């Protein structure tokens, strides 16, 4: 794992292998979705590494013990619609008791600016760790907008999970939300003039849902 305080790149061989298959334009919709789910379990493991922990007294069949258990309130997973749902599926399997929120943003293809159409999150966000998920951190516009909305709704402990990041998006997040750590599988070269990541994997939503 490569880490700086703001960006963590998960360079585990399994993550990198799966990502290469996902990038390949010959990979089917079914294969892409399956791999995204698998990779989100591995990325989820990393982003949740420092969750607060406490102990509880239990009886094993042998004796009583003080055993580790997660502390505090259940965490919240927030998917940025629609592509976020692909990452959400895997990480929700990893933490089935997590609460789930949705932020609906679409990208205006002319301005590349996010337009909000939906926002639904648990009411007590301030007491819970919040993991925002979206596969592609490209311009960073929609991530910054989603985090703005979550902070307005009271969230204090926010982390962002993506599959691929562009340097432009990482810089934008570092400027707008330096308190939000980012975990990703790769930091790609750059954006093209339409705001797509190069070399990237194309449109993540289209690839996971078979739309075009």
Left if phi > 0, otherwise alpha if psi is -120 to 50, otherwise beta: which for 135? alpha
Among 77, 81, 136, 149, binds ligand URA (CB under 6 A): 136
Annotation marks residue 50 as catalytic: no
CB of 200 to ligand URA, least distance (A): 4
Annotation marks residue 148 as catalytic: no
Nearest to ligand URA of 89, 203 (CB atom): 203
Calpha distance 20→16 (Å, rounded): 6
Alpha helix (H) residue ranges in the chain: 13-23, 29-47, 84-94, 141-152, 167-176, 204-209
The answer to whether 146 contacts ligand URA (rule: CB under 6 A) is no
Q: Which of 107, 127, 148, 157 is catalytic?
A: 107
The answer to whether 197 contacts ligand URA (rule: CB under 6 A) is yes
Mapping DSSP onto H, E and C, the string for 95-117 reads CCCCEEEEEEEEECCCCCCEEEE
Q: How many degrees, rounded to 5, is the angle at CA 187 between CA 184 and CA 192? A: 125
Q: How many degrees, rounded to 5, is the angle at CA 88 between CA 85 and CA 93? A: 135
Copy the structure tokens of residue 33. 């979705």
Nearest to ligand URA of 179, 206 (CB atom): 206
Among 37, 100, 203, 209, binds ligand URA (CB under 6 A): 203
The answer to whether 200 contacts ligand URA (rule: CB under 6 A) is yes
| Count of Cβ atoms closer than 10 Å to residue 99 Cβ | 17
Annotation marks residue 203 as catalytic: yes
Nearest to ligand URA of 22, 48 (CB atom): 22
Q: Which of 179, 189, 206, 211 is catalytic?
A: 206
Q: Which of 56, 111, 124, 189 is catalytic?
A: 111
Q: What is the CA radius of gyration of the chain?
A: 18
Calpha distance 132→143 (Å, rounded): 8
The answer to whether 165 contacts ligand URA (rule: CB under 6 A) is no
The answer to whether 204 contacts ligand URA (rule: CB under 6 A) is yes
The answer to whether 84 contacts ligand URA (rule: CB under 6 A) is no
The answer to whether 186 contacts ligand URA (rule: CB under 6 A) is no
CB of 61 to ligand URA, least distance (A): 50
- Are 107 and 70 spatial neighbours (Cβ–Cβ below 8 Å)? no
CB of 194 to ligand URA, least distance (A): 8
Among 76, 138, 147, 180, binds ligand URA (CB under 6 A): 138
């Amino acid at each position: 794992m490569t880490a700086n305080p703001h960006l963590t790149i998960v360079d585990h061989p399994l993550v990198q292998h799966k990502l290469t298959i996902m990038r390949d334009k010959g990979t089917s919709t079914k294969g892409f979705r399956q791999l995204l789910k698998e990779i989100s379990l591995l990325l989820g493991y990393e982003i949740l590494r420092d969750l607060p922990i406490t102990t509880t007294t239990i009886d094993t069949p042998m004796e009583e013990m003080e055993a580790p258990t997660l502390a505090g309130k259940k965490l919240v997973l927030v998917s940025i619609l629609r592509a976020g749902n692909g990452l959400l599926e895997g990480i929700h399997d990893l933490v089935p008791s997590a609460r789930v929120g949705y932020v609906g943003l679409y990208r205006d293809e002319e301005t590349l600016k996010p337009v909000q159409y939906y926002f639904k999150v648990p009411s007590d966000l301030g007491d819970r760790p919040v993991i925002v998920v979206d596969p592609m951190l490209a311009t960073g516009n929609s991530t910054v907008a989603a985090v703005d909305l979550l902070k307005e709704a009271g969230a204090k402990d926010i982390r962002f999970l993506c599959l691929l990041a562009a340097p432009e998006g990482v810089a934008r997040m570092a400027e707008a939300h330096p308190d939000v750590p980012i975990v990703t599988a790769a930091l790609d070269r750059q954006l093209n003039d339409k705001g797509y990541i190069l070399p990237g994997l194309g449109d993540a939503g289209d690839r996971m849902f078979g739309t075009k």
